[in-house]
Chain A
């Protein structure tokens, strides 16, 4: 059939070549294309014809292959032992599939511009030390020998980071990897936390041992266990010793927060509030992939002790990394003290600032709080991550107070009752407000 078409069309092509319009190149190109398409059509026709003729044979082959695969699985000849490894060809195939899957799924992810933010780095490092280093190791820390016997073996990450872009790292950290033992992020709604880990991972290849310790352990980087942490901590260094050590890595032994603003200040909060927060984190009702694994390790008595310890600490607020402008502080002051009634935003100070009647023990004190933390939490409420129906009723009070229906949060950022600039202003104003002393003990309530 193909030859027939060719011979039929050939005179036409010849006429173009030496006829009225000689050397008409586009015309020639078109002819060639036509011919190719015709051949392709004919080939496809032939194939279809063959398939139709021999359909019984083909169906038989497919069924036989299926039974063969089933028989192979039934026989148990294939070893699922981690010690058995993969055949080299199959290993390449898996690696190829992994790479392609990650690349395809990250096409539409846009990378935030603040991945260089030191607070993000520090937050990511703090989590990496607790959540990732047991399997993936860290500068100065070997991987756990048990997890190294997994198949595939969790790689030491520093030399592997360059293989992936930030969006791909984000996707892997958020979703985990099927059949590879890589878990998904504990709180899928907290993409902000996942980006913090990505920010850290991108820095990981450049870090030496002291640099890593500084990022991952903060003020406790140089401290030997227990030293200089006061009598209180020494007393706690029984069952809660590990708990305190995990808290202190990020929040500091006295709960002063972190100079970069990566972690909230715990000093001066009430025992009630801190205890409720630990419980909510542990249960996952207050979503956080960073706090949930830490809090879930604690029992109720340990939570009480830790809450009491941090509620009893006092001290000046850390200086904000970047002082806010006067205009921003004025805007923040207005929102904090008067609210924005036309948008349903209540005055923040009604619940969060010192007043003669006292602040309710379930409400957090915000004076002197780290601005990035306040802004980050407000964003979580705007996005509906906080205040959901499983979270404590106080979180729903907060949603209503900032003009959000917790069951129907705004769909897009331009529908947020507070604009980003206003969120930052109010956070800056509270950060600059002098903090109050240690909270009164629970017994006073």
Chain B
């Protein structure tokens, strides 16, 4: 998994990584130079010390050098930043809305909605549009691009692409409430064909399962009212205040990077989400669903892959 500025997965991230290296190395070089001058000033011969203390040396090292270096860096950074905003026309559009404490992901041209996981085909230009449904969040996938603020009532855009397949971790980078730390997500970079297959699965309507245990899960899911907040594609449940659950079983994590995704964690989450991630919007269903129902609901949701 990639979660570092120094492990770039695409050309945009690579430019940011180059800039980072330039700053690290340049900073280190200047630091060494200053230390060298300090050593000379303390221990050098009288001639060296006189030259270091001369008005000309102070003007050159204290005024001219920083002004030149910082101005050059500014021009270079602005150039990099400007180049990052450019991209090929007609890219794949992905909309992400930050919510306390999860991420709604939409592919408007492909008419699908998902949550907490963004699939991106390798080599395709992507336009990312982010906003927020409540407070200010910040979308940050260090191996993908810089931080992008998510501001209520404003859409911020970035263009980027990814060079190679892999999983990138993202994190909310603007304090947004008690569970800010547990507001992560994953970007899955995959080959074009695999991406299309994923979209196909996401678009396929979910039918009522035949298997009795899973059918019990379907029944309990509806009866407990889960569909008031959650949507599952092709079912009567179309709630939009919580994450879309289509293909939930195939996701890399539960509750926005909080838990590993398997039957036990899912059942535990449904029973007591406030014990795991206090202050999130999901209420506990441990009294509404009994043990077998809880397991059945979790099993049915895990079967959606």
For residue A433, CB closer than 8 A to chain B, the reply is no
Q: Assess the A357–B284 pair: CB atoms within 8 A.
A: no
Contacts of A400 in B (CB 8 A): 281-283
Contact of A350 among B220, B225, B281, B288 (CB under 8 A): B225
For residue A332, CB closer than 8 A to chain B, the reply is no
For residue B229, CB closer than 8 A to chain A, the reply is yes
Contacts of B239 in A (CB 8 A): 339, 341, 346-347, 350
Which of A356-405 touch B at CB < 8 Å?
A: 356-360, 362-363, 392-394, 396-397, 399-401, 403, 405
B297 to chain A, nearest CB (A): 12
Could you tell me the distance between the alpha carbons of A346 and B237 in the complex, rounded to whole angstroms? Answer: 11
Q: Assess the B223–A393 pair: CB atoms within 8 A.
A: no
Q: Assess the A344–B281 pair: CB atoms within 8 A.
A: yes
Among B223, B224, B236: residue with most chain A CB under 10 A = B223
| A346 closest partner in B (C-beta) | B228
Interface string of B214-226 (1 = CB under 8 A from A): 0000111111111
Q: Assess the B222–A356 pair: CB atoms within 8 A.
A: yes
Which of A321-371 touch B at CB < 8 Å?
A: 338-339, 341-342, 344-351, 355-360, 362-363
Q: Assess the B224–A394 pair: CB atoms within 8 A.
A: no
Q: Assess the B223–A359 pair: CB atoms within 8 A.
A: yes
Contacts of A345 in B (CB 8 A): 241
Q: Assess the A346–B229 pair: CB atoms within 8 A.
A: yes
Interface string of A397-426 (1 = CB under 8 A from B): 101110101000000000000000000000
Could you tell me the distance between the alpha carbons of A357 and B221 in the complex, rounded to whole angstroms? Answer: 9
Among B221, B237, B287: residue with most chain A CB under 10 A = B287
Q: Assess the A346–B241 pair: CB atoms within 8 A.
A: yes
Contacts of B225 in A (CB 8 A): 346, 350-351, 360, 363, 397, 401
Among A356, A357, A393: residue with most chain B CB under 10 A = A357
| B237 closest partner in A (C-beta) | A350
Contacts of A344 in B (CB 8 A): 241, 281
On whether A360 and B224 interact (CB within 8 A), knowing A339-B241, A341-B241, A350-B229, the answer reads yes
A395 to chain B, nearest CB (A): 10
Chain A: interface size category: 20 to 34
Chain B: interface size category: 20 to 34
| B219 closest partner in A (C-beta) | A357
Could you tell me the distance between the alpha carbons of A222 and B237 in the complex, rounded to whole angstroms? Answer: 49
For residue B198, CB closer than 8 A to chain A, the reply is no
Contacts of B283 in A (CB 8 A): 393, 396-397, 399-401
Contacts of B10 in A (CB 8 A): none
Contacts of B242 in A (CB 8 A): 346
Contact of B288 among A339, A348, A394 (CB under 8 A): A394
For residue B213, CB closer than 8 A to chain A, the reply is no
Q: Assess the B228–A393 pair: CB atoms within 8 A.
A: no
B250 to chain A, nearest CB (A): 24
Contacts of A394 in B (CB 8 A): 287-288
Contacts of B285 in A (CB 8 A): 397
For residue B108, CB closer than 8 A to chain A, the reply is no
| A348 closest partner in B (C-beta) | B228
Could you tell me the distance between the alpha carbons of A400 and B281 in the complex, rounded to whole angstroms? Answer: 6
Q: Assess the A341–B240 pair: CB atoms within 8 A.
A: yes
Could you tell me the distance between the alpha carbons of A397 and B229 in the complex, rounded to whole angstroms? Answer: 11
Contacts of A396 in B (CB 8 A): 283-284
Q: Assess the A339–B240 pair: CB atoms within 8 A.
A: yes
Contacts of A355 in B (CB 8 A): 222, 236
B248 to chain A, nearest CB (A): 18
| A363 closest partner in B (C-beta) | B225
Among A348, A356, A401, A405: residue with most chain B CB under 10 A = A401
Majority DSSP secondary structure for residues of B touching A:
loop
Contacts of B241 in A (CB 8 A): 339, 341, 344-346, 403
On whether A351 and B286 interact (CB within 8 A), knowing A341-B241, A346-B239, A405-B279, the answer reads no
B148 to chain A, nearest CB (A): 21
Which of B44-71 touch A at CB < 8 Å?
A: none
Among B236, B242, B282, B288: residue with most chain A CB under 10 A = B288
For residue B123, CB closer than 8 A to chain A, the reply is no
Contacts of B146 in A (CB 8 A): none
Contacts of B220 in A (CB 8 A): 357
Contacts of A349 in B (CB 8 A): 228
A200 to chain B, nearest CB (A): 37
On whether A362 and B222 interact (CB within 8 A), knowing A344-B281, A405-B279, the answer reads no
For residue B227, CB closer than 8 A to chain A, the reply is yes
For residue B11, CB closer than 8 A to chain A, the reply is no
Contacts of B221 in A (CB 8 A): 357
Could you tell me the distance between the alpha carbons of A77 and B286 in the complex, rounded to whole angstroms? Answer: 63
Interface string of B183-198 (1 = CB under 8 A from A): 0000000000000000
Among B241, B284, B285, B286: residue with most chain A CB under 10 A = B241
On whether A358 and B223 interact (CB within 8 A), knowing A345-B241, A347-B228, A399-B283, the answer reads yes
Could you tell me the distance between the alpha carbons of A399 and B281 in the complex, rounded to whole angstroms? Answer: 10
Contacts of B287 in A (CB 8 A): 362, 392-394
A408 to chain B, nearest CB (A): 9
For residue B268, CB closer than 8 A to chain A, the reply is no
Could you tell me the distance between the alpha carbons of A360 and B236 in the complex, rounded to whole angstroms? Answer: 16
| B241 closest partner in A (C-beta) | A341
B270 to chain A, nearest CB (A): 12
Q: Assess the B240–A393 pair: CB atoms within 8 A.
A: no
Could you tell me the distance between the alpha carbons of A249 and B238 in the complex, rounded to whole angstroms? Answer: 42
Could you tell me the distance between the alpha carbons of A345 and B281 in the complex, rounded to whole angstroms? Answer: 11
On whether A360 and B281 interact (CB within 8 A), knowing A339-B239, A344-B241, the answer reads no
Q: Assess the A351–B284 pair: CB atoms within 8 A.
A: no
| A355 closest partner in B (C-beta) | B222
| A351 closest partner in B (C-beta) | B225
| A401 closest partner in B (C-beta) | B228
A346 to chain B, nearest CB (A): 4
Contacts of B281 in A (CB 8 A): 344, 400, 403
Q: Assess the B288–A362 pair: CB atoms within 8 A.
A: yes
Q: Assess the A401–B288 pair: CB atoms within 8 A.
A: no
| A408 closest partner in B (C-beta) | B279
Could you tell me the distance between the alpha carbons of A348 and B286 in the complex, rounded to whole angstroms? Answer: 20
| B242 closest partner in A (C-beta) | A346
Which residues of B come within 8 Å of A, CB atoms?
133, 218-229, 236-242, 279, 281-288
> Closest 9 CB pairs between A and B?
A350-B228, A357-B222, A351-B225, A341-B240, A346-B228, A400-B283, A397-B283, A350-B225, A393-B287
Given known contacts A339-B229, A341-B239, A405-B279, what 5 new A-B pairs fall within 8 Å (CB)?
A339-B240, A355-B236, A357-B218, A360-B288, A401-B283
Give 10 A-B contacts (CB < 8 Å), ordered by A residue. Answer: A341-B241, A342-B133, A346-B242, A347-B228, A350-B227, A356-B236, A357-B221, A360-B225, A394-B287, A397-B283
